[in-house]
Structure 1
């Protein structure tokens, strides 16, 4: 009868982008000019987070404020919010190394 190898105590799982960023089947991976972003549809939208918006069929990223979305230097508020749909909360932003 053989003893188990003590080296098995030090074996670690291989790191992959999916395991680091916790990409699941429901995750939305978006290619951007700078790399890739990962958005999760099930996360709670809170102030200070970045979200992925669908505004009249156009995808854009926005920061969440009190009752408004801040996109670059513009603000989406009031009646414009009727056209905005939150697709998910951005959890990771990966920049390309090119």
Structure 2
């Protein structure tokens, strides 16, 4: 009869991006100029959150305001909101070390 190794009590799973960022099948993972972003389509969109939006086929990040989206390119409001589709709430942004 063999004695079980006490080292087995300290064995951990290998760390991957999926575990701390909770990436699942519905997650949207996209490459950015600075690294990677993870957006979740099922999360509630609330004021102050960053979202991934599709505006006439162009993907961009925007902060949710009072009836507007604030982007690096400016503010999307009024009739322009008809062309904007929220794809998901951004939950993680990871910068590349390259």
TM normalised by structure 1 equals 0.90
CA deviation after TM superposition for structure 1 residue 8, in Å: 2.5
Gaps of 5+ in 2: none
**Range with greater deviation from structure 2 (82-91 or 70-79):** 70-79
Provide TM-score, normalisation by structure 2.
0.90
Residue in 1 that maps onto 2:11: 11
Query: What are structure 1's unaligned runs of at least 5 residues?
Result: none
Report the alpha carbon displacement of residue 3 of structure 1 after superposing the two structures with TM. Answer: 4.8
Higher deviation after alignment, 43-52 or 68-77: 68-77
Q: Distance in 1 between matches of 2:65 and 2:82?
A: 16
Secondary structure (helix, strand or coil) at the match of 1:90 reads strand
Deviation at 1:12, TM superposition (A): 1.4
Count, aligned residues: 98
Runs of 4+ displaced beyond 6 Å: none
- Taking the aligned partners of 1:71 and 1:86, their CA distance within structure 2 comes to 13
**Coordinate RMSD, CA, aligned:** 1.4
